[in-house]
Every structure is written in structure tokens, then in C-alpha cells.
Chains A and B, each alone.
Chain A
Amino acid sequence: MKKVLVYVEDGYAQESLSLLEAVRQLYPDQHVETYALLINSDASAIDGVCDVLLTLEDGTLQPFDQKGLCDVFTSVHTRYSFDAILFLATPMGRCIAPSVSMRLETGLVADVTAIANDDGQISLIRPAYSGKIMAGIRIKGEGPVMMSIRIGVFTYQGTDTVQSTNIGLEGLDYRHGNIKVMGTKEKKIPYDIRESDVLISGGAGCSDMESLQDLADLLGGHVSASRAVVDKGIVPRAIQVGQSGKTVSPSLYIALGIHGALQHVEGLKDIPHIISVNTNKDAPICSISDIVVEGDALPFVAKLIRRIKEGQQR
């Protein structure tokens, strides 16, 4: 039997389900007992999915207190001795996982996208070189096996429910780090187009940028723009793609009414799929597109939104 700990961070309970799919692939043919660690976080999404819910309520333990949280993890591990510990690659997960692995003197693999277990020989696949290559990593040493997983990479498929055991963690030995939150402020543009997986990009031939948002939402992406619309002051420079804007590498780029001057195209790096919608099918952008839709951008957007919604209803 294997014992695995998954960290269910506050605010990411639903996303944490994907960690359980990773666990299933890590130990495909073995009985696994899953433990969820919940620190000041709500358990409802994971209740009935993990065998054991370890909960710690302590308002004095601040998020991002790496020292304190690392102490908590090591104390819990000392108590239960896990075979594997999994994190979501959230900003906090990225911070705690390495310190825990260092304390436990074990290896850690970041941003895992695929898992293979060949008779106990574990290999993990992860992107490196800013996503340009994929690397196969072999786990050596005594363990526990540790990894972090990006949100959305694994999809939880389990349907069985279990009777979760709730354990309130008592008497753990941990310190508090010397950090203090002074305040927070929202970002003006709450996303960074360099991080987006899908970009719906509008150019001069796209007279209404706001109507792109719905399509972006449906495809789980964000809106970006070419210089033409930024110059007109319609959208902020922060979402401009190109030489004087940002260089982006989404998996899908939909160019709506964008001519594709070299200055724009220089901002497109390693994009697997490009769709362009243009009244001129010979516009340069079309030459680097998988599919070119010859036509007006906005009516196309409206029609595609309708089609996707239809698909959802069926």
C-alpha cells in the first residue's frame, strides 16, 4: 500500500482534485491511501474524495510563511511517513514544495505534465527552457517522491466516493517566520498575456474589442491586441503583442483583423495553432496561420460564440 499526501491550498480545493488523478497515474496498480493537508482551508470539495483529511486551523500562520509551513509539512510527514507528496504549482505551492524537499533531503520535480511508473521506476515529464522542450526526469533516492503540477494539466476522472476521515492536527511542532502581510492591491489588467494559453487578439479590422471577451472566456483565454488598437487608445499597452509590446507563446492565437506586420509577428513565439480572420486572405498574418477565415472579424466572433454555446447545450 502507498500513502500519499496532497496539499489542498486555500482557494484551490476544486483544482486540487487533479492531484488525485496524478496520484492514480503514479501508482496505477497499487492500493493508495490519500491524505489531504488543509491549512486554514475549506475541505468541502475534497470531502468524500480523499481518505483522510488532515486539517490545521491557525490564524497566526500566514500564507507564504515558508519557514512555518515547511515546519508543518515536515512534522506531518514525520508522523505519517508518506511515499509521495504532491503540490499544485501555485505561487505558494512553488514556494513551499522546494523547501520541504530540501528539509526531507529528497528530489522534487516541477510542473509535471505526464507520469510513468515502470515497475517502481518512476519517470516524469515536464517542460523546461521556457516551455520549448519537454524533459523526462527519473526519480532516484529514497523518497518521498515529490512533484508539483500545474493547474489544468491532469483531469480528475474518479467517481467513487469514500468515507473521509477527519483528523484535526494537534500538537504539531512549528515556528512562525518573520514575515507580515501589510496589504494587497488588485492588478489593473488581472492577467499577463505572456502567461495566457489562449489569446483572442484584435487588430485594426476589429472595431469592438469588448466583444472579444466572451469568446476569450469560452476558450479559457484572454484578450490581446495589435498596435493599431493600442495606439487608438482603445486598450492599454499592457496587452499589446509585438516588437514594442510583449512576446507571447499561447497554444492558440486567434488573430482578428490583424494585418501581421513583421513588428507584430515578432511578438509571436512558438505558437502551435494560429487562426486568422481577415477580409484580405493574402494579408501576411495568413501565411503563418493554420486556418484563415476570409471575412469580417466581428460577425465571425458572434457566429463562433453561438456555435460553441450550441455545442455546450447539446
Chain B
Amino acid sequence: MRIVCVVKFVPDVDNFTYNYETHTIEREHSPMLINPDDARALGFALTMKKREPQTCIEVVTMAPRSVIPQLEDILRLGFDSATLISDQLFAGSDTYVTSKLLSSVIRKIPYDCILSGTHAIDGDTSHVPSQIAQSLDLDHLNFIHHIEEERFTCSSAVVEVEGESSYTTFEIALPALLSLTRESAYRLPYVRYKNLNLDVSERLHILTNEQLGFDPAEVGLSGSRTQVVSTHTKEHMTRRKKVVKSDDEGIEVIYTFLKSNGFI
């Protein structure tokens, strides 16, 4: 079986620093991480490869070249190959362009199934998987938290999707695109101590626009249909620690507080 995993590298959103002067997010300090949902997808793919060693898994990502060490670590875990789409021309791509670029590369890879995350913790749109599915004319399901391993074959899969108050089981014909959530239990292992320096450079491929051949006007910021023009942090009130008693007066303070902040 041939699986393609589309993986995004994201900054650690719990620990990024925000520059209030330039209104930008400073990412240099913390290394990029594999998007949590995507790590689950990779984890599932690896589980399948353990069950069925013939399984071939190719990882595809669009990202700056600074993620190469992290991609190499993915390869050290036993993934067959990785393709990094990276070109200064692609910077600032919105989801429309991102999906177009990713699809153009995936189209050339033979696959029985594409796995992705459901949403990325930085851009946070959940657009890309549906858009890739549309471009490649594939069926697609989001919010998958369980895939039945025994029934995962080249022609179909049975998956459980998490909804707001229930889980729904679907049977879906393959090839299709399956997007996992981080609630799913497939853990991506870490590289073992003894493999930390394994040379994997032969299995890593970098594609620039020279290979992809897009008109520069179609990609990056110029090709995008949306553009981020400003970012700001949410204002957080500084805490005053006002102390009241649990009497009528105190209850009134709480009530007014809840009311003026729109909770009632």
C-alpha cells in the first residue's frame, strides 16, 4: 500500500513570542514542530507499516528550509521518503495557493490513500485538506479519531469521525483523503538515541519552483486570494484580585461582572 502524508510544520503556539512593536510573531527562538494532528497521521501510517512492511509512506510538506532537521528526524523513524516544497516565491501563500502547490506535487506520486491533519494550530483554518481533496477529486473526511486497522486496505477504510456530541462511523472508498485529529491515539515515536545521527539525506527531496514551474503571479502572495494584513494579540485584562464576601453585596459584584463581560 502506498500512503502520502501531508505534514505542516508549525511554531510552538504555546511558547511563541509576540513583538508588540512590529506586530509580528517571532519564531526564530523556538524550533518548528510537527503540527499535532499531523503527528497522529504520521503515527497511524507508521503503525500500518509495522503491520505491513511493504507499505510505502511518502511525506510531503511545504515549508522553509529550516525544517530540514525535523524532516530528517521523520525519515529516521522509518518513513520511506520526504519531499520538501520550498521556494521564496511561495512565501505568503494563502490556503488556496498552498493547496494548489501541494496538490500539484501529490498528483505525481502514486498513492492509495492520503493522510493529513484536520487543522493546523497556527493558521488554524482547516482549509487545506478539503481543498487538496477537491483539487485531486477525492472523497474526504475530517475529524477522524480512529481508523480500523484490520479494514484499512487499498480499496476502502472504515473510520470513526468525532462530531460535537457523537461519533459517526463511515466506510469510505480509497483512494481518498483522511484527516486525523489530535484526539486520535496514534502516537508518532521519537527517534531512538542510537539513530539520532543516521544519514537520511538520500531520501529527502527538495522541490523549488524551478521543478514545479508555476508562473510567479500564480503563487505566493501574488497568487493568493486572501492576505494577512495585520495581527494583534487579544487584550487581556490585568488581574486586580478584588476580594468580596459571599453576601448580597458580593453576589451583586459577581453578577455585574458577568453581565458587563457578556456572560449573562
For B25, what are the chain A residues with a Cβ–Cβ distance below 8 Å?
Answer: 129, 133
Give the contacting residue for B122; candidates A90, A129, A138, A184; CB below 8 A.
A129
Contact across chains for B239 and A274 when beta carbons are under 8 A apart: yes
Would A138 and B226 be within 8 Å (CB), given that A98-B134, A102-B130 are in contact? yes
Give the contacting residue for B261; candidates A102, A141, A273; CB below 8 A.
A273
Contact across chains for A187 and B226 when beta carbons are under 8 A apart: no
CA distance A65 to B126 in the complex (A): 17
CB distance from A299 to the nearest CB of B (A): 6
For A103, what are the chain B residues with a Cβ–Cβ distance below 8 Å?
Answer: 134
Count of residues in A whose CB is under 8 Å from the partner chain: 84
CA distance A98 to B126 in the complex (A): 8
B246 on interface, CB distance cutoff 8 Å: yes
Contact across chains for B243 and A311 when beta carbons are under 8 A apart: no
Give the contacting residue for A98; candidates B127, B171, B228; CB below 8 A.
B127
Chief secondary structure at chain A's binding surface: mixed
CB distance from B102 to the nearest CB of A (A): 12
A3 on interface, CB distance cutoff 8 Å: no
Q: Which stretch (A77-85, A173-181, A225-233) binds chain B?
A: A173-181
Contact across chains for B142 and A95 when beta carbons are under 8 A apart: yes
CB distance from A33 to the nearest CB of B (A): 24
For A304, what are the chain B residues with a Cβ–Cβ distance below 8 Å?
Answer: 251, 254-255
CA distance A90 to B126 in the complex (A): 12
Q: Which stretch (B10-18, B44-52, B209-217) binds chain A?
A: B10-18
CA distance A288 to B237 in the complex (A): 11
CA distance A277 to B253 in the complex (A): 13
Would A107 and B264 be within 8 Å (CB), given that A96-B130, A102-B134 are in contact? no
Contact across chains for A95 and B130 when beta carbons are under 8 A apart: yes
Contact with B along A176-201 (1 / 0, CB 8 A): 01111111111100110000001000
For B164, what are the chain A residues with a Cβ–Cβ distance below 8 Å?
Answer: 90-91
Give the contacting residue for B225; candidates A135, A139, A179, A198; CB below 8 A.
A139
CA distance A135 to B170 in the complex (A): 35
CB distance from A189 to the nearest CB of B (A): 10
Give the contacting residue for B250; candidates A108, A139, A179, A293; CB below 8 A.
A293
CA distance A141 to B134 in the complex (A): 20
CB distance from B68 to the nearest CB of A (A): 24
- Interfacial residues of chain A within 126-157, with CB under 8 A of chain B in the complex: 127-141
Contact across chains for A107 and B224 when beta carbons are under 8 A apart: yes
Residue in A70, A218, A251, A291 with the greatest tally of chain B CB atoms within 10 Å: A291
Contact with A along B113-137 (1 / 0, CB 8 A): 0000000011111111111011101
For B143, what are the chain A residues with a Cβ–Cβ distance below 8 Å?
Answer: 91
Contact across chains for B130 and A137 when beta carbons are under 8 A apart: no
For A191, what are the chain B residues with a Cβ–Cβ distance below 8 Å?
Answer: 165
A217 on interface, CB distance cutoff 8 Å: no
A-B pairs, top 3 by smallest CB distance, nearest first, are A107-B225, A295-B246, A178-B173
A-B contact sample (15 more), CB < 8 A, given A66-B133, A123-B229: A66-B134, A98-B131, A102-B134, A132-B16, A138-B226, A138-B229, A141-B225, A177-B139, A184-B167, A187-B167, A272-B234, A292-B241, A293-B243, A294-B246, A308-B258
